[in-house]
Amino acid sequence: MTPNVFFTGGPEDWARYETPLRDALAAEGIAARVSPDCPDPAAVDYLVFLPGTVSDFTPFTRARAVLSLWAGVETITGNPTLTQPLARMVDDSLTEGMVEYVTGHVLRHHLGIDGFIGATRWEKAVPPLARDRRVTVLGLGELGSACATALAALRFDVAGWSRRPRRIAGITCLSGQEGLQQALERAEILVLLLPRTPETEDILNPQSIAALPPGAVVINPGRGALIDEAALLAALDDGHLGHATLDTFRTEPLPADHPFWQHPRVTVTPHIAAETRPETASRVIAANIRRAEAGAPLLYRVDRAAGY
């Protein structure tokens, strides 16, 4: 039977995805009907999902999977109408983008590049070698482990923290509350790559910020809700934190009057750390549809109980 694939995004998204998605399905040998229109939800076999579109999954009675184009799925993991299996996006391009973003911003702070931009005096400020710079990555999943590994390849002294104990070559892997404390206390540069769940919300709060060494830098391409904003601003104002480079926010786009925009110790990037790219993401979606059609388990299935 020819599966019906409903693309939930709007016209602009469809314009970017129509050709890559059709090409990827054809390459997998799947003769699917793909459309951004959905006259009969009960006839849909797969939803290719973008956040902020479908909120009631009840009418999709036949759907075998909801396939998210985003890696972060916090907007639907708690949706009680979503009973269909949910898969999130894991894609090489997404990972490469995140590795480049994190490495670039870590190197900016490690090398003190800001101090030389516009300098008019010969003042030697020699940065330590990477091997003498301690970086901590909170979250050692697809993105966190790739970033930690890339930083370790540059010889940074890298630790990472995850929910379950992990082993990654060249990384000091920590878990549990005690592990979190150790991870924070050593973090001259702290990278947040956790998903947003009830357990990770406000993980950077007055207590955890106080555990960071004086002058620590925070880089957050994870989710805005990982950070208690008032606590972050207070620590930047009193000098305990040296800088915050933020890519994700509780409200996006970040409102024009938000204090982050004007703060001298904050760099705002507009959720550009790792963009889902239609060509590669479509291949992941098509491969998952092929697997589901063949009765194989979905790749990148979300653990609804864990929330990611």
Enzyme catalytic residues? 223, 271
Minimal distance in Å, beta carbon 108 to ligand NAP? 17
Dump the DSSP string for 100-146. HHHHHHHHHHHHTGGGTTT--S----PPPPGGG-EEEEE--SHHHHH
- Closer CB to ligand NAP, 144 or 242, in the complex: 144
Nearest to 30 by CA among 300, 295, 287: 287
163 binds ligand NAP (CB under 6 A): yes
Residue from 162, 245, 282, 288 touching ligand NAP (CB under 6 A): that is 162
Residues of this chain, 176-215, that bind ligand NAP according to CB under 6 A:
193-197, 199-200
What is the total count of residues that contact ligand NAP (CB under 6 A)?
31
218 binds ligand NAP (CB under 6 A): no
Distance separating alpha carbons of residues 194 and 238, to the nearest angstrom? 26
- Closer CB to ligand NAP, 9 or 221, in the complex: 221
Q: What angle do CA 194, 267, 180 make, to 5 degrees?
A: 30
Chain length of the chain:
308
143 binds ligand NAP (CB under 6 A): yes
Amino acid at 31: A
Nearest to 306 by CA among 139, 163, 140: 163
- Closer CB to ligand NAP, 5 or 140, in the complex: 140
Residues at the contact surface with ligand NAP, assessed by CB under 6 A:
71-72, 90, 94, 139-144, 161-164, 166, 193-197, 199-200, 221-223, 247-248, 271, 273-274, 308
